Structure 1
Amino acid sequence: MTAALYAYAFLDEFVLLYPVYVLLFADSGLSVGQISSLFVLWSLTGVLLEVPSGAWADAASRRTLLWLGPLLGAAGFALWVLVPSYWAFAAGFVLWGARGALGSGALEALVYEELERAGAADRYARVTGRAHALGQAAVMAATALAGPVLSAGGYRAVGAASVLASLLCAAAATAFPEHRAPAAPSEDGWTATLRAGFADLRGDRRVLGALLLVPAVTAVWGALDEYTPLLVGESGVPDAEVPRLLVLIWAGVTAGSLLSGPAERLGRAGLAALLAGAALALAAGALTGGLGGVVLVALAFGGFQLATVLADVRLQRRIEGAGRATLTSVAGLGTELLTIAVYGAYGFLGSAYGHGAAFALFAAPYLATALTLALAAARGSRR
């Protein structure tokens, strides 16, 4: 199962269009406003489909959703390069958003339950951490290859490589084992599964706490990642050096993924310390600038990535009912909504105070989360 997961994780992110699709939009004559509207459409698609797709994954075959998603992505990428126009780009983003929603929740639930069935649920953090690391390595590899492929064959060559990677990703999904039988059909269909998942959420406060921790840890740094080129550029680094320094940040993220196995036994106090340290490194690095600042931001992002994996581990271990994919998707929905809020807030803060100050200010939510976890750990130790 792990071989299929690692192949899937790499191919899912090995999309050469990722680093150049904004250039494709601009070269096709789209304005900044039109490009921004596409991003909004992409986010809204994820928001609308996140929870229903999770309930579908609990009611039907999760493996089916995992191979269907990349096929939708392949169709969207093909549309972009074959008929480049605003409406083709919009349709592609809807398909891409659906691709992400179908995999969100279904993948985590399938992997955890298959490991649990094999008596290896304690390997979940290590396995998913390696999968995340392979996905990040794929992003770096795709970024490095996109330029040469674009120069050699244009956007159609980049698009063809992206479609091929998506098709191979779908093929990898067919290799996933799935011993869980889909839920028996009922008059209510997937809505019954959705209600069952929310019943589990209401019935156990520990599940609710673990679910809320996922967006609290994941959303802010995930949104800030989109602005790291602007942060690095603001520090006076020549434009030609920006991509190389960004590789340092991605190396930090990859290291955080690989450390998830050894760190999986961190309790609330340990997770609080991790988040507080990463938040302080983020603020210091953003305000320092230069190579030293980038190194600190890389350490911070590595800490946040590690915390992201650990938060998912806590959630999977708390869920005991049949609505695992549903509740994981609810956490994904919370992450999507909070990410959109961060984008809006960053637009104001970055314009008013600069990128370094904006990054530093966004360390505050992590300090608040760390304080909440530390207080909860202290209350638990007194019982």
Structure 2
Amino acid sequence: MGFVLWGISGALQSGATEALIYTELDRLGAAGRYAAVIGRARAIDTVAVMASMAVAAPLFVLGGYPLIGVASVLACVLATAVATTFPEHRTREENEEASEGGYAGILRDGLREVRADRSIRRALLLVAMVTALWGSLEEYIPLLAAGTGVAAHVVPLLVLLVSAGTALGGVLVATGRHFTDRALAGILAFGALGLGVGAISGLAAGFVAIAAAFCAFQMASVLADVRLQQSITGPARATVTSLAGLGTDVGTILVYGGYAAASEPAGHAEIFAVSAVPYAVLALVLLLGGFRVRRAVTRADLSDP
């Protein structure tokens, strides 16, 4: 039941959070800050997960699973309290339009916009392709670390190193909100190189390269999300963004299945190294202009002289 509720929670948030933040920033004429805000949020998210892992062990010693459960519930309550402080400024016309069409109308508007605009379809595909693979590989980092032959107590430290790289990527992405497709291609190519070299080395030292790769992938994921938000012009922003989340989830399931199938004939290092190839190919496609996305006009653009 807990997993069902967790899934419902994720489905309700998917796309809605990003759409709300972008819309409110655009209302203030600050849509250009979206990358910085989302990047910092992703960094805080990663750090919070790292912190929860650190406190889980002593909490378990003190109170076992019941105390862990109570702490988890309190974390959700705290998150809910923070969410209620998000600003939202809808006009009366927007509220009337949403109430007339209902959820079905909003869904139709979102699907219609995706079908009608090739630029949005490209942005959706880019988000899913960039995010799904490295997001799935992250779950296998402990197995890759153990495969290097280090002592058991060193494995969490290597995982922590990769998490630190992911958090750093969220912070650094604030400097890349105006990156061109060529620059994004360079980030993906760097990530592919770091992932491939770090994994195939089979050494604990190779996790420095893997951490750098995950830093690059986090940056690329946020920048892809920025491109999607900038390409949307219709009223169903949350629906369009949630479709990107759906594509990412489907891609994640496919990666899990592929990893399971490949784990029989190949080891973790080989699978990680091969997983770098799609990012290298995607970087080449971006370099050739295969994912060129049209940027919508924002309030900040309208206010510029």
TM-score normalised to structure 2 length: 0.92
What is the match of residue 99 of structure 2? 185
What is the match of residue 61 of structure 1? none
1:225-274 superposed Cα distances (whole Å, 9 cap, x missing partner)? 00000000001011111001111101100110001110111111111111
Aligned residue for 1:235, secondary structure, equals: coil
Change (3 A) 1:233 1:374: same
| Superposition map of 1:47-126 within 5 A | 91-126=1-36
1:173-217 superposed Cα distances (whole Å, 9 cap, x missing partner)? 11111102434423x531111111111112221111111100110
Change (3 A) 1:217 1:204: same
CA distance in 1 between counterparts of 2:86 and 2:186 reads 36
Letter in 2 for 1:252: G
8 Å Cα contact 2:98/2:106 also seen in 1: no
CA distance in 2 between counterparts of 1:126 and 1:355 reads 34
Aligned residue for 1:351, secondary structure, equals: coil
What is the match of residue 263 of structure 2? 350
Letter in 2 for 1:365: P
CA distance in 2 between counterparts of 1:116 and 1:254 reads 25
1:372 is aligned, of 281, 285, 295, to 285
Matched, 1:331 2:244: yes
What is the match of residue 22 of structure 1? none
CA distance in 2 between counterparts of 1:239 and 1:270 reads 39
Which blocks of at least 5 consecutive residues in structure 1 are unaligned? 1-90
Which has the higher relative contact order, 1 or 2, with Cα contacts under 8 A spaced 6 or more apart?
A: 2
What is the match of residue 118 of structure 2? 205
What is the match of residue 247 of structure 1? 160
* CA apart distance, 1:377: 6.8
Aligned residue for 2:233, secondary structure, equals: coil
Identity rate, percent: 50
RMSD of equivalent CA atoms: 1.5
Letter in 1 for 2:99: P
What is the match of residue 88 of structure 1? none
Of stretches 206-215 and 369-378 in structure 1, the one that deviates more from structure 2 is 369-378
* CA apart distance, 1:343: 0.2
CA distance in 1 between counterparts of 2:75 and 2:291 reads 48
8 Å Cα contact 1:271/1:307 also seen in 2: yes
8 Å Cα contact 1:269/1:377 also seen in 2: no
Letter in 2 for 1:185: S
What is the match of residue 306 of structure 1? 219
1:331-374 superposed Cα distances (whole Å, 9 cap, x missing partner)? 00100001000000101212211000000111111112111111
| Superposition map of 1:128-277 within 5 A | 128-180=38-90, 181-182=94-95, 183-186=97-100, 189-277=102-190
Letter in 1 for 2:10: G
Change (3 A) 1:378 1:122: closer
CA distance in 1 between counterparts of 2:251 and 2:98 reads 35
8 Å Cα contact 2:122/2:291 also seen in 1: no
What is the match of residue 46 of structure 1? none
Of stretches 343-352 and 150-159 in structure 1, the one that deviates more from structure 2 is 343-352
Which blocks of at least 5 consecutive residues in structure 2 are unaligned? 294-305
CA distance in 2 between counterparts of 1:97 and 1:184 reads 25
8 Å Cα contact 1:350/1:357 also seen in 2: no
Superposed structure 1 runs of 4+ greater than 4 Å apart: 377-380
1:161-183 superposed Cα distances (whole Å, 9 cap, x missing partner)? 11001011111111111102434
Change (3 A) 1:379 1:253: closer
CA distance in 2 between counterparts of 1:244 and 1:175 reads 36
CA distance in 2 between counterparts of 1:349 and 1:195 reads 39
Letter in 2 for 1:108: E
1:294 is aligned, of 207, 232, 253, to 207
Matched, 1:363 2:273: no
Letter in 2 for 1:245: L
* CA apart distance, 1:378: 11
* CA apart distance, 1:290: 2.2
Aligned residue for 1:265, secondary structure, equals: coil
* CA apart distance, 1:310: 0.4
